[in-house]
Structure 1
Amino acid sequence: MGNVQTHGNLRDTEVEAQIPNRLSRITSNLILSLIDGDYFPCLILRPSTAIKEGLVVYVFHKNMETEIPSRNIIVTRGRPSKKK
């Protein structure tokens, strides 16, 4: 089928520059995490002890628990908590 040649990297560095290195307020436990070049749905379990500002997550499709840096995630839209 296609005979496409790509020159350089397909990453969008402009968009990556806008992604925060640290997430201050995650409103959902369900995230998408970049693992091996693909995004997978994950459940946040706890903060990471091995990676600064990282998270321990459970990756559903790989049936594994792993630690990831917070800059490699997409937060799904959650309900904001109600302030009293």
Structure 2
Amino acid sequence: MGTALRVEHVRAMRVGGKVDVSAAPPPSPTGRRLTFRVRAVDDAGRLVATGEIDRAVVDRESFLAAALGPAHPGEAS
């Protein structure tokens, strides 16, 4: 689950230009929030944007159970 996105745009691109985007995980993750460093570079290798994406670590089964709520009457649980 994403919690935040921060991006700094540092260079303009030509229309139709190609951009490669990469994300690097935190070097030593702790807790339930992970901050990934992201970079976008053009086809000449020049930096176009840089930033961070925060992600929250959640238990998938608990999250889906809460999102779906209790079973509807007449359905098997």
- Relative to the length of structure 1, the TM-score reads 0.24
* CA radius of gyration, larger in: 2
- Bigger relative contact order, structure 1 or 2 (CA pairs below 8 A, ≥6 apart): 2
> Higher strand share goes to which structure?
2
- Relative to the length of structure 2, the TM-score reads 0.25
